[in-house]
Structure 1
Amino acid sequence: MASFLSPTTAQGQTITWWVEELEKRTDGKVTVETFWDASLLGAEEIRDGVRDGRVELGNVSYAYTPSDFPLSSIVEVPFLGDNMGAQTSALNELYATDEAFRAEWEDKQGIKVMSFVGVPPALTGTKEPVTTVDWYTGKTVRASGFFVKALEAVGGNPAAIAVPETYEAMRTGTVEAYGGLILDVITPLSLHEVGGHIHDPGLGHYASSTWTMSLDTWNSLSPQVQGIIEELNAEFPNQLLRNAERTEDEACTQILDSGGSASKFDEAEIQKWKAAIGDAPMKDWIAKATAAGVADPAAMYERFSGLYTSAQSAEYADYVPGIERCAGRGR
């Protein structure tokens, strides 16, 4: 197994649980050798490593090869919501029931998805508290993915800076804020030391990750082992949420104890940003899905949105994002 993550992250802890449970439930017949922190393959290499059999398991981020995953970039359409459990559930259900969406991974990549990994809302960190969209005008902000276009829509200047280089960019003033990160990633990178005022601008989810297996490996396993893995995959999302809650709350404590703050834009400011962005992200995704051969992309998005809404109002109705819990503690 290759991962670019630390095993201490919520996703890393959940993968560790999955691996240990697989070994336990198969009575040691299946074992996994783990390589963390990009020690075997870098983040941009894991997709190919799983696909060509250098590793059997890996956490894949489609964002490193976005042109190969036009349908999976459905998560980049902003303002859907901020419920991590609902996003994971909706993506898993779409993968299970939509042939075109599943084919993007299995037929075109040779990869079997164990579970999609939802992400909390994208956050921004600054040296001062920020409460309005207007603050971004003229500011240089570390950004990636759809957050680049979101910034441009309100007069911000996005800077393509790698995550590991963000601390130095903030320290030296190369950027005035960092965006597109999640709560329990901010503190391990010590970003709260150079930008400890964390806010949720209300854009919602910005990406997703994926826990994967080589399709060839999957097909080589016995039905019994496949059944055990399917049980683990079904348990994976809730295990992820439990781990995320713990790591987010630990990060919140560090941020607040260091003199930082946590907040979320009020609804009027979110609507201001939504109006500025318009429907461009949806149009971009529909164009990519159409080029990928989907006959009715709007129907696919409507189904995804409906699955999300159903999960948000049912199984994950009690979910509260870490930034919201943290903002409550800081009041």
Structure 2
Amino acid sequence: MKMKKVIALTLGTILTCSCFLAGCNKAPEKQETETKENKEDSGTEETAEKEKPASGDTVVLKLAHHTAIDSAYDVAIKHYADLIYERTDGRVKIEVYPAAQLGGERDVLEGLKLGTIDMTLNTSALIMNITPEFGLLDLPFLFEDYDHARASLDGEPGQILADKLLEQNGIRMMAGWCSGFRVMMTTNKKIEKLEDFQGVKMRAPETPVYIDMFTALGANPTPIPYSEVYTAMQTGVVEGVEVAAEPMYTSKFHEVGKYIARTNHIFSTICPLINEQKFQSLPEDVQQIMLDTMKEATDFEWEKFLEADEAALQAMVDSGCELNEIDRQPLMDACASVQEKYVKELNAQEFMDSIQKLKE
């Protein structure tokens, strides 16, 4: 009796397994047929989806900068990021962290060197702390106009600096972006000629070249952080500030200042940078796409900034500020010694010669 039960159970098990196996072998045929039909129905849309890389294949690059959200620089770098994602078919995604979200300008540059941040936007005045030659870009009256500045950054002078940054720090300068010619604003004294600078307490960035420039002009340079400028002008700690019109307006300095002198004494540069090791880790075709697209983004940034800067200057005039033109030649003559000093200290005659050639 026990033996009959065992045999019955064994036969039942065999039949059950046979049915299960038959079902399993049959199901994929149906699934395969359905999948094939779905693919045929979806057409090119399915093909495009198939060509996109899996999420694990996407390279994410962190780009940090200190400028305000929706500033000309922020808009331009986000435009660049969108183009890169599109033109690499999603293989490269640049995540932009504006407004010092990952640290101040000095912090993100250090992160770029260490490789904890992949890309940044940094001003030439800050880059000079790791490659001193970049301070040459902030020399007073170095450039005649915007065309001269653009030609210099895109040409041999810019390449000289890019080579030094790459060699000394393993950082690639991808372009030279426009931060505009700086103008001067004062609270209670018009600046119409060189003599008007005498004894005026001017806020100076905490960079030696600016202090030397104001000293050469006869002013009294007062180094204070940018974040304290508004209050310093309001309380009389300083009587003036110099910066491009766009940041001057967005910082609301026109609320405490009255006179603007269009001195155009220094052209400010901001540079998109990338860690070279990270750049070299990318496929060659992606590297080329990033370089070619940066040229397009650079045109975009220059246009956006110049529009914003001109609009800001007009807005300050409309709000009641007085705009004064000034003969720049006496100012240039007074600051000639400043240029000579830094060219000698940095052994930068080759750089200055290349700048001069582009004036001719």
> Structure 2 length as normaliser, TM-score?
0.76
Taking the aligned partners of 1:280 and 1:39, their CA distance within structure 2 comes to: 36
Taking the aligned partners of 1:204 and 1:39, their CA distance within structure 2 comes to: 28
1:92 and 2:166 correspond: no
* 1:259 Cα offset (Å): 0.6
| Matching residue within 268, 285, 304 for 1:224 | 285
Q: 1:10 to 1:211 in 2, by over 3 A?
A: same
CA contact (8 A) 2:157 2:354 kept: no
> Which residue of the partner structure matches residue 161 of structure 1?
224
> Which residue of the partner structure matches residue 108 of structure 1?
168
Taking the aligned partners of 1:112 and 1:21, their CA distance within structure 2 comes to: 20
> CA offsets, 1:157-198, max 9 Å, x none?
10111111100001111101112x111101111111111422
Taking the aligned partners of 1:96 and 1:203, their CA distance within structure 2 comes to: 20
| Matching residue within 324, 339, 348 for 1:281 | 339
* 1:83 Cα offset (Å): 2.7
Taking the aligned partners of 2:229 and 2:116, their CA distance within structure 1 comes to: 31
* 1:96 Cα offset (Å): 7.1
Q: Secondary structure at the match of 2:342?
A: helix
> Which residue of the partner structure matches residue 136 of structure 1?
197
CA contact (8 A) 2:127 2:134 kept: no
Taking the aligned partners of 1:65 and 1:230, their CA distance within structure 2 comes to: 21
* 1:33 Cα offset (Å): 1.6
Amino acid at match of 1:143: A
Pairs within 5 Å for 1:252-271? 252-266=313-327, 270-271=328-329
Instruction: Name stretches of at least 5 consecutive residues in structure 2 with no aligned partner.
Output: 1-62
> Structure 1 length as normaliser, TM-score?
0.82
> Which residue of the partner structure matches residue 349 of structure 2?
298
Q: Which has the higher helix share?
A: 2
1:123 and 2:186 correspond: no
CA contact (8 A) 1:83 1:120 kept: no
Amino acid at match of 1:123: V
Q: Secondary structure at the match of 1:279?
A: helix
Taking the aligned partners of 1:300 and 1:230, their CA distance within structure 2 comes to: 24
> Which residue of the partner structure matches residue 317 of structure 1?
none
CA contact (8 A) 1:88 1:237 kept: no
Taking the aligned partners of 2:211 and 2:321, their CA distance within structure 1 comes to: 25
* 1:121 Cα offset (Å): 1.8
| Matching residue within 82, 104, 118 for 1:20 | 82
CA contact (8 A) 1:197 1:262 kept: yes
1:53 and 2:115 correspond: yes
Pairs within 5 Å for 1:147-186? 147-179=210-242, 181-186=243-248
Amino acid at match of 2:226: V
Q: Secondary structure at the match of 2:181?
A: coil
1:44 and 2:102 correspond: no
1:234 and 2:295 correspond: yes
Taking the aligned partners of 2:338 and 2:93, their CA distance within structure 1 comes to: 46
> CA offsets, 1:38-68, max 9 Å, x none?
1112111121111111111101224235342
Q: 1:274 to 1:142 in 2, by over 3 A?
A: same
Pairs within 5 Å for 1:238-249? 238-249=299-310
Amino acid at match of 1:105: L
Taking the aligned partners of 2:88 and 2:275, their CA distance within structure 1 comes to: 19
> Which residue of the partner structure matches residue 50 of structure 2?
none
Structure of larger gyration radius: 2
> CA offsets, 1:248-291, max 9 Å, x none?
2331242122111323312xxx2222333333322322322x3x
Q: 1:25 to 1:123 in 2, by over 3 A?
A: same
> CA offsets, 1:274-318, max 9 Å, x none?
333333322322322x3xxxxxx32331113324x37xxxxxxxx
Instruction: Name stretches of at least 5 consecutive residues in structure 1 with no aligned partner.
Output: 291-296, 311-331
Taking the aligned partners of 2:127 and 2:306, their CA distance within structure 1 comes to: 29
> CA offsets, 1:197-253, max 9 Å, x none?
222224242x42211111011101111111111111222332122101321233124
Amino acid at match of 1:168: T
CA contact (8 A) 1:121 1:182 kept: yes
Q: Secondary structure at the match of 2:265?
A: coil
Say what the alpha-carbon RMSD is for the aligned residues: 2.1
Percent identity over the alignment?
A: 20
CA contact (8 A) 1:82 1:120 kept: no
Taking the aligned partners of 2:96 and 2:257, their CA distance within structure 1 comes to: 33
Q: Secondary structure at the match of 1:141?
A: strand
Q: 1:240 to 1:215 in 2, by over 3 A?
A: same
> Which residue of the partner structure matches residue 126 of structure 2?
64
Aligned length: 295
Choose between structure 1 and 2 for higher RCO, CA contacts under 8 A separated by at least 6 residues.
1
